A and B are shown apart, each in its own frame.
Chain A
Amino acid sequence: MRTSLNNIKQTEDYLSGQMSAGDSLLFKAKMLIDPSLRLNVVMQQKIYLLVRLYSRQKLKSEIENVHKKIFHDPAKAAFRKKIFKYFSK
């Protein structure tokens, strides 16, 4: 892998706690003297969060499809009736 990708892999190992204590110390030292590495680590952390948020959106749309199906399926009429009853007052 090219250097930039290796840095990404190292950052992942560091952030996920998969680095040995020695390597982790070394990585921290590198961050101290290299502001661009420091920035990349912060950014990569941000990307993991964004991926999680993206995935949640996708999962929610999958769940919404299930909702639509259940609320349109003739076989689920009794279930719907039960739900609507809670909100009929």
Chain B
Amino acid sequence: MEATVDLIIEQNTTTLFTALYEKAFPRVAAFVSHRKGSLQDAKDIFQDALVIFYEKIMTRDLKISVSREAYILGIAKHLWIRKFNHDKLNVSLDDVEREIVIPEDYFPTVEQNKLLRFLELTGRRCLELLKAFYYDKLSAQDVSEKFGYGSTHSTTVQKFKCLEKVRDRVKEKSISYEDFTE
């Protein structure tokens, strides 16, 4: 899947998602409508499936023997089962689909959502910088260009500063929420 990562960097995510929408959404919509789901259900599940697909590409832990559309449909089936557990026995998964794992931490808790909103209010720049490093897996070089830092060294220092800043904010907030994790 190395080629796909390079493809994303070369094109951009919008181009990739547009292409995947056209190719994979009809299959997910067919699956959901067959199970008496709504268009809104199909949309929600498909969008989450795209996010999970993207993450699997970015961490390079994706080796698939089927087409991208088929793989995305597989993720969507898992999400469907998760959402409508009663339908579990009616959804058949093939061998490739059975291997698919949805990240355990995918759906945020109420407390996590609260923290996120709070962090966004106190400053997006650090979150964006950390996203670039850890989620989009950009190199220090790419991040310095994107954020306008003079060198990769100062970008890396900035990354640690941001981690510290966000950590200290969450610490404060956690104390005030009295839900210490330890």
**B105: A residues at CB distance < 8 A:** 49, 52-53
CB-CB contacts below 8 Å: A19-59 with B = 38-40, 42-44, 46-59
Instruction: Give B181 Cβ to nearest chain A Cβ, in Å.
Output: 6
CB-CB contacts below 8 Å: B1-29 with A = 13-14, 17-18, 21-22, 25-26, 29
**B43: A residues at CB distance < 8 A:** 67
Mostly, the B contact residues are: helix
State A42–B181 Cα separation when bound (angstroms).
Answer: 8
Give which listed residue, A43, A60, A66, A83, contacts B170 with CB less than 8 A. A43
Decide: A50 and B22 in contact? CB cutoff 8 A.
no
Decide: A86 and B47 in contact? CB cutoff 8 A.
no
Decide: B134 and A52 in contact? CB cutoff 8 A.
yes
Chain A residue, CB-CB nearest to B158:
A5
**B47: A residues at CB distance < 8 A:** 60, 63-64, 67
Question: Contacts A51-B127, A62-B13, A62-B14 given: A83-B181 contact, CB under 8 Å?
Answer: no
Question: Contacts A59-B13, A66-B17 given: A47-B116 contact, CB under 8 Å?
Answer: no
Give which listed residue, A8, A62, A79, A86, contacts B22 with CB less than 8 A. A79
Instruction: Give B135 Cβ to nearest chain A Cβ, in Å.
Output: 4
Decide: B163 and A87 in contact? CB cutoff 8 A.
no
Instruction: Give B166 Cβ to nearest chain A Cβ, in Å.
Output: 5
State A56–B48 Cα separation when bound (angstroms).
Answer: 9
State A44–B167 Cα separation when bound (angstroms).
Answer: 6
State A52–B106 Cα separation when bound (angstroms).
Answer: 9
Give which listed residue, A4, A50, A69, A79, contacts B112 with CB less than 8 A. A50
State A52–B97 Cα separation when bound (angstroms).
Answer: 24
A2-21 vs B, Cβ < 8 Å mask (1 yes, 0 no):
00110011001000000000
Chain A residue, CB-CB nearest to B26:
A82
Residues of B within 8 A of A (CB): 13-14, 17-18, 21-22, 25-26, 29-30, 32-33, 38-39, 42-43, 47-48, 50-51, 54, 105-106, 108, 112, 115-116, 119-120, 127, 130-131, 134-136, 157, 160-161, 163-164, 166-167, 170-171, 174, 181-182
21 contacts between A and B (CB under 8 A): A12-B160, A42-B181, A43-B167, A44-B167, A47-B130, A47-B167, A47-B170, A50-B115, A50-B166, A52-B134, A53-B108, A55-B134, A55-B135, A60-B47, A62-B17, A65-B14, A66-B14, A67-B21, A67-B43, A79-B22, A87-B29
